Amino acid sequence: MNAISLYAKPSDDFDAKLAESVALLRRAAGEFAPITQASSLGAEDMVVTDLLHRFHIQSGIFVLETGKLHDETLQLLARLQSHYGREVEVYKPDAAAAGRFVAENGEEAMYKSLELRKACCHIRKMEPLDRALAGKRGWITGLRREQSGARAEVELIEQQPERAKINPLARWTWGDVWHYISVHAVPYNPLHDRFYPSIGCAPCTRAVTLGEDFRSGRWWWEQESAKECGLHVAADGTHEAEEPAAFEPLSSAASSPVSPLPNRAIPIRAIPN
């Protein structure tokens, strides 16, 4: 059993959603050029990359290689470039800044406080993102409204101060995503087969259990309201949480998130037909 067999259940209006997404991408490529896709190499972003390729839509693609990604994610990056026959821009954190942060706070600083976790995200994601988006008038993401409460009102186009943010899969369901992957044989991260619906840096990602939210495996020691790295926070910061309410530091070796998870099947909630 794999992610496709579990989740590939399209919604009744899937064809309409697909047409809407393609039309939006074509419009965005013309209206907001130069434009680029920010790819996490998750299932949604692989669908977006395939749409860009399949419908000959002109857009760059970049990945933030944080230095903390799973081996499976790095291997998928190589597969993506081979499968689509194109280069993907890779942005890494400033080595000196990352080195200083680890020297001062340790490799597991993200578990110590919300402030340190966000500082780690800033070094490994936010600063490289600024470089990746420099000079761009638009960027494309794989955000979906279904992913979390914080993303429930994601718009197809969000006008930000410096550029437009395009979310072509905003109305797609998880079942829609996997239906598309199945039909078009889109490469995907094998961690999805091991019940990782949302995949980020290895220290901050775990598999999910029955009934949990799609993003519950990300920063799971924090309250739901805090679970963003900053890449997709609203301009007014409305879904950012204040410490300490959003944070519970891990205090015992038994609960340490660096302990490996067993490779067992832990299904997330059922996908409706």
At position 10, the amino acid (one-letter code) is P
Number of CB atoms found within 10 A of residue 39's CB: 23
Q: Tokens 């679970």 map to which residue?
A: 227
Rounded-to-10 torsion of CA 251, 252, 255, 261: 130
Helix 174-184 × helix 43-54 angle, to 10°:
50
H helices of the chain, in order, are 3-7, 14-31, 43-54, 71-84, 95-105, 114-121, 127-133, 174-184
**Cα–Cα distance between 181 and 185 in angstroms, integer?**
5
> Residues 120, 201, 204, 229: which is the catalytic one?
229
At position 13, the amino acid (one-letter code) is D
Q: Which two tokens stand for residue 67?
A: 């230095």
In this structure, what are the phi and psi dihedrals at residue 207, rounded to the nearest 5 degrees?
Answer: -70, 160
Q: Is the dihedral of CA 124, 38, 49, 61 positive or negative?
A: negative
Is 229 an annotated catalytic residue? yes
Largest CA distance in the chain: 53
Report yes or no: 59 and 35 within 8 Å, Cβ to Cβ.
yes
Say how many residues make up the chain.
273
How many Å is the Cα radius of gyration of the chain? 18
Active-site residue numbers?
229
